[in-house]
């Protein structure tokens, strides 16, 4: 299988970050670019030393030499395009999210299962250096029982983002902070209670069904009494951009730093001592180094790149799942749960915080 896979990267905005990683992956033989903008395609080919390429997904899908497609197209297109890729007999990786409503999520899940091909939602949050650090803590038993976890994702959309973003409720794009928590807890979300925080300014109110600048959700999870809290904001929140998680364990906890210039904090609870009312708690900052050791040698140089170093890990997991004939780590069932959880959270917020059951995908 050395150098045997042919991969098409569709969408050369964000997609440009992944092209050189695919080119250097030892199991990838050819990378084909696709973008509807002829100039973007020309520049991409020139930048990465490629030629040819396609102007549409339809052209990509007609090319029988292409084994897999990585979609980095606008959010509203994900569900339909994923189904097209799978129906064409090609493995599919897709940027978050899987879909924008439960029907889309169910359709993609069904298409992936029916096809027997590999699907992976490329969730950067589940492959950052902070995630790997916390995973090592979990695997070493340092947390003990985890009863609570919190995710925070603040991003201001008043900047000139594409217009469709204003119709996307905050919780429908919560996978960046919810996904890594559910992965670390090795569980899935089962129900949610969510409330809207604040009222959207009239000049920002694009869709009446999206009335909240921020949403706060509490999720129940399978096989645990733990509660997961997610704070998610698009507008009217004076906070630095962050996609973060905090894990509170009975012995140790991991707390994401508030500033990019600072390392995360590990809290360690001391022993109970006779005659002393307060238990000692140490709080120390710990660096979270990149993890090139988890990658093929050819990809090690990318381990300190964008989105917490996640990009080469995402590529390697997708490619490996194809070659090894196994489900990817963020396969159709995992992706469906992470995505549906946010969709149901928004539904709960419109119901004033009523608990809503989250569909389960086998």
Residues composing the chain: 362
Per cent of the chain over pLDDT 70 is 99
In b/e form, how buried is each residue of 69-95, taking b as 16+ CB within 10 angstroms?
A: bbbbbebbbbbebbbbbbebebbbbbb
Residue 2 has pLDDT above 70, yes or no: no
Whether 114 and 214 map to the same domain: the answer is: no
Whether 49 and 110 map to the same domain: the answer is: yes
Pairing of β 28-34 and β 5-10: parallel
Model pTM? 0.96
pLDDT at 278: 79
**What is the average pLDDT across 354-359?**
98
Whether 111 and 151 map to the same domain: the answer is: no
| Integer Cα distance of 220 and 210 in angstroms | 24
Q: Which of 11, 59, 14, 18 is nearest to 36 (CA)?
A: 11
Give one DSSP letter per residue of 330-355, joined into a string: T-HHHHHHHHHHHHHHHHHHHTTS--
Find the helix or strand (DSSP H, E) in which 35 lies: none
Average pLDDT, the chain: 96
Whether 138 and 225 map to the same domain: the answer is: yes
**What is the average pLDDT across 90-114?**
98
What are the pLDDT digits (tens) for 166-215? 889 999 999 999 999 999 999 999 999 999 999 999 999 888 889 999 99
Q: CATH number of the domain that 230 lies in?
A: 3.30.360.10
pLDDT at 350: 97
Residue 321 has pLDDT above 90, yes or no: yes
Residue 357 has φ and ψ, to the nearest 5°, of -75, 140
| Integer Cα distance of 82 and 70 in angstroms | 9
Residue 236 has pLDDT above 70, yes or no: yes
What are the pLDDT digits (tens) for 51-74? 999 999 999 999 999 999 999 999
Q: Is 299 among the domain residues?
A: no
Whether 168 and 313 map to the same domain: the answer is: no
As for how many domains the chain has, the answer is 2
pLDDT band with cut points at 50, 70 and 90 for residue 276: confident
Give the domain range for residue 274.
128-294+340-357
The tokens 């064409």 sit on which residue? 88
């Amino acid at each position: 299988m050395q150098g045997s896979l042919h991969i098409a990267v569709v969408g050369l905005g964000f997609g440009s970050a992944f092209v050189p990683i695919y080119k250097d992956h030892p199991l990838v033989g050819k990378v084909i670019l696709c973008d509807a903008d002829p100039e973007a395609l020309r520049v991409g080919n020139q930048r990465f030393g490629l030629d040819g390429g396609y102007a549409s997904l339809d052209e990509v899908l007609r090319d029988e030499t292409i084994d897999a497609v990585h979609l980095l197209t606008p959010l509203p297109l994900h569900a339909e395009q994923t189904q097209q890729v799978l129906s064409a007999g090609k493995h599919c990786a897709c940027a978050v999210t899987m879909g924008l409503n439960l029907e889309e999520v169910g359709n993609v899940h069904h298409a992936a299962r029916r096809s027997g091909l590999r699907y992976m939602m490329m969730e950067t949050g589940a492959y950052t250096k902070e995630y790997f650090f916390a995973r090592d803590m979990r695997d070493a038993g340092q947390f003990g029982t985890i009863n609570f976890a919190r995710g925070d994702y603040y991003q201001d959309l008043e900047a000139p983002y594409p217009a469709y973003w204003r119709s996307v409720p905050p919780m429908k794009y919560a996978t960046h902070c919810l996904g890594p928590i559910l992965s670390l807890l090795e569980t899935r979300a089962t129900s949610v209670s969510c409330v809207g925080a604040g009222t959207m300014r009239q000049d920002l109110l694009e869709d009446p069904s999206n009335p909240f600048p921020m949403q706060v959700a509490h999720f129940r999870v399978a096989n645990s009494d733990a509660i997961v809290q997610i704070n998610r904001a698009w507008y009217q929140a004076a906070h630095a951009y962050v996609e973060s998680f905090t894990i509170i364990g009975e012995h140790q906890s991991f707390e994401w730093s508030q500033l990019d210039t600072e390392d995360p904090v590990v809290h360690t609870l001391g022993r109970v001592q006779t005659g002393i009312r307060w238990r000692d708690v140490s709080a120390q900052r710990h660096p979270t180094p990149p993890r090139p050791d988890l990658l093929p040698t050819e990809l090690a140089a990318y381990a300190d790149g964008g989105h917490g170093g996640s990009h080469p890990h995402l590529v390697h997991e997708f490619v490996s799942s194809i070659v090894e004939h196994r489900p990817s780590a963020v396969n159709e069932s995992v992706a469906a749960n992470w995505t549906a959880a946010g969709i149901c959270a928004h539904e709960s917020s419109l119901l004033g915080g009523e608990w809503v059951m989250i569909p389960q995908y086998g």
